[in-house]
Structure 1
Amino acid sequence: MSKQDKIIVGISIGDLNGIGSEIILKTFDDVRMLEFCTPVIFASVKLMSFYKKHFGMNINFHGIDNLDKIIPKKINVLNVWKEQVDINFGKEDFKAGEYAIKSLTNAVNALKTHQIDILVTAPINKSCIQSETFRFPGHTDYLNQELEGDSLMLMISETLRVGLLTDHVAVKDVSAAITRELIEKKINTIHKSLIQDFGTEKPRIAVLGINPHTGDNGVIGNEDDTVLRPTLDNLRNNGKTIFGPYAADSFFGSGNYKNFDVIIASYHDQGLIPFKTLAFGSGVNYTAGLDKVRTSPDHGTAFDIAGKNTADFSSFRAAIFNGIEIFKKRKEYKKISQNPMKITKKRGYVKKN
């Protein structure tokens, strides 16, 4: 953490024509947020002033050209660029995507060099960000390249956590992508994350099947029997508390998800449709498995309502609070892991002779 003793939250602006600016401004329109963290928006003062005027908000920014100039209890804006940018709310524009990536790459560099403590990303348009220098389907894949560890998309809310074996993979490629090695890597990643990031001592993990009805004994595909079940058995034999595979169609409707610390879905829509049905607007996308903390809201750019001052900022605010809490949990876990006896003595649990 920084010398200012407040968690510094770096914020990438997202697609300039989407709702990112609105949900950021609405979040920090509540001055109480500055008691929890020191925000740094990676964009430009000119751009943020335009948004402020457009949305009719009375917010003051502290413009900086260097991250050494961050001031607590201020909404810091790092000038990643200084030129004026044309904003066309709701429009797909590669130029807007280019600035979104400028914001993101500068924020990630600051995260890697410990100039910010956590990263919260506003939504990007996956089509508009593609270029000769940036060819990733989303934040998660880029962060997996730039940071240490193995990334895993983990959707979290107060009552539900859903992880994915495969995320931005075409449905036709899902079954081939799910190998024994992938399953083991993803489950080991999420198991570690639950312990160090959420304080869960013995995680209970449920896994959903690959095929409908988990294949019905090979009638609807054999991947569940030949790949998934043997791998889960091996992980159980190594001490992990894993259940499944479960048929996905009835798992959430029956309320069975409430019995577990996390549910692992085989592919994107299998996990995210029920998650967003149950928790949309309050959920958070957390990139587990990396050496740094990154969160984002559970929604996209929402071009249909961009610029209309109607966007709900609850998920973005939750992303900030969850990022802060995970950062603290991870710091506490690291401290305990490095010197468990010292912590135990301090708490008075050492047996006296």
Structure 2
Amino acid sequence: MKSADKIRVGISIGDLNGIGSEIVLKTFEDARMLELCTPVVFASAKTITFIKKKLDLDISFQGVEEASQALDNKLNVVNVWKENVEIHFGKESPEAGKYAFLSLQAATEALKNGDIDLLVTAPINKHNIQSEEFKFPGHTDYLAKELNGESLMLMITDSLKVGLLTDHVAVKDVAASITPGLVEKKINIIYKTLQQDFKISQPKIAVLGINPHSGDNGVIGNEDEEVMKPTLEKMRNSGKLVFGPYPADSFFGSGNYRNFDAIIAAYHDQGLIPFKTLSFGTGVNFTAGLNKVRTSPDHGTAYEIAGKNEADFQSFKEAVFKGIDIFRNRQEYEELTENVLKKQSKKI
């Protein structure tokens, strides 16, 4: 298994006018982080120097041309661009979106090539990053395409994991988007990730209803009766511990969420409002279902405080920690699976 100090954590810089660069640099201002991993930031030495001076941060870095040249015990900055970039903290601009994509694109290629082991993404602005090359509602869908995976947005802390059936989908389209096939696919993804990435051998999963009170037996919509209940029963019959659909309004307030290893919400705000209420600032966004590990903080660009040296970097730091933990767990799972298969083949 790869030793901790050899794990290369790739970092896309996000929107340069937001707090992404600040939380990245503040995270690695603590030299102990360099003992844990080798960080590789995809940006440019000129840009990072400007931000470091602007925020008066006590941090040094090593400029490299490619991620494969990254040095251990250093904060490495890959020069994705060479030109000077004008940074206007707190302002949305097409230029900031352009460089956010260039960073993400370079980091993703390094991840695919094995030059970095995992990816932590700083926040982007989902509007200004749109272009001919990026026509996605966010990181999750872009990475699913690039990494040829079936993705699931999974918000995590040590004690709470909330996944989404639909993520960046308009509320008016949610019910039509949820089909038996989608429910089954997303449950299978979260089931596998709980086993291989979080060491939970027999996961116990709760699913929230689509409608208020889970439809009240068809009084408030029939999606829960016709889609959710039969699909969950089918999955239970296959041996998975999947329960629900539970009425979403009381599920978290009653503390029932503590009885499960993960919860699957029907749509974005149904899952993320309670998650962020319970864990804002310490939560991590993990993209389950991919063949590579990607995490991010649980917040956005925070333009209102960008450039003011006020950003809390705890969630980004947690994203680094969780990414490393998941990477190690997945390596161990793959090695154990390989050993089991070898033993079975010998018996045959």
Determine if the TM-score, normalized by the shorter chain, exceeds 0.5: yes
Gaps of 5+ in 1: 345-353
Separation in structure 1 between the aligned mates of residue 167 and residue 44 of structure 2, nearest angstrom: 32
CA distance in 1, matches of 2:122, 2:99: 13
Where do 1:245-324 residues align within 5 Å? 245-324=245-324
Q: Which amino acid counterpart does residue 163 of structure 2 have in structure 1?
A: G
CA RMSD of aligned residues (A): 1.5
- Give the letter for the 1:167 counterpart: D
- Confirm or deny: 8 A CA contact 1:4 1:72 kept in the other structure: no
Matched, 1:74 2:103: no
Change (3 A) 1:262 1:2: closer
The answer (yes or no) to whether the contact 2:12–2:100 under 8 Å persists in 1 is: yes
1:229 is aligned to 229
Pair 1:113-2:113 in alignment: yes
CA deviation string 1:186-240 (max 9, x = no partner): 0000000000000000000000000000001111100000010000000000000
Partner of 1:347: none
8 Å Cα contact 1:205/1:243 also seen in 2: yes
Deviation at 1:71, TM superposition (A): 0.5
How far residue 134 of structure 1 moved from its aligned partner, in angstroms, is: 1.1
| TM norm structure 2 | 0.97
Q: SS of the residue aligned with 2:335? A: helix
Give the conservation status (yes or no) of the 8 Å contact 1:336–1:343: no
Q: CA deviation at 1:148?
A: 2.9
- Structure 2 counterpart of 1:66, which letter? E
| 1:332 and 2:328 correspond | no
Q: Under a length normalisation based on structure 1, what TM-score does the superposition of the two structures give?
A: 0.95
In 1: Cα distance, 2:162 partner to 2:132 partner: 33
The 10-residue stretch of structure 1 (61-70 or 194-203) with the greater mean CA deviation from structure 2: 61-70
Displacement, 1:171? 0.1
Aligned to 1:199: 199
Q: Is the 8 A contact 1:47 1:85 kept in 2?
A: yes
Q: Is the 8 A contact 2:5 2:35 kept in 1?
A: no
The separation in 2 between residues aligned to 1:129 and 1:208, in whole angstroms, is 32
Structure 1 ranges of 4+ moved more than 2 A: 1-5, 340-344
Q: Which residue of 2 aligns with 1:186?
A: 186
| Correspondence for 2:142 | 142
What corresponds to 1:349 in structure 2? none
Q: For the residues of structure 2 that align with 1:44 and 1:290, how far apart are their CA atoms?
A: 28
Deviation readout 1:67-114 (Å, 9 max, x if unpaired):
232100000000000100000001000110000000000000000000
**Which letter maps to 1:327?**
F
Percent of paired sites with the same residue: 66
Change over 3 Å in CA distance of 1:215–1:123 after alignment to 2: same
Tell me the number of residue pairs that the alignment of Structure 1 and Structure 2 aligns: 344
Distance 1:30 1:343 in 2: 45
Letter in structure 1 aligned against 2:19: I
Distance 2:116 2:68 in 1: 11
Q: Deviations over 1:223-281 (max 9, x none)?
A: 00001000000000000001111000000000000000000000000000000000000
SS in 2 for 1:339: helix
Counterpart of 1:171 in structure 2: which amino acid? Answer: V
Deviation at 1:65? 0.8
- Determine if contact 2:65/2:78 at 8 Å carries over to the other structure: yes
> What SS class does the counterpart of residue 243 from structure 1 fall into?
strand
Q: Match for residue 210 of structure 1?
A: 210
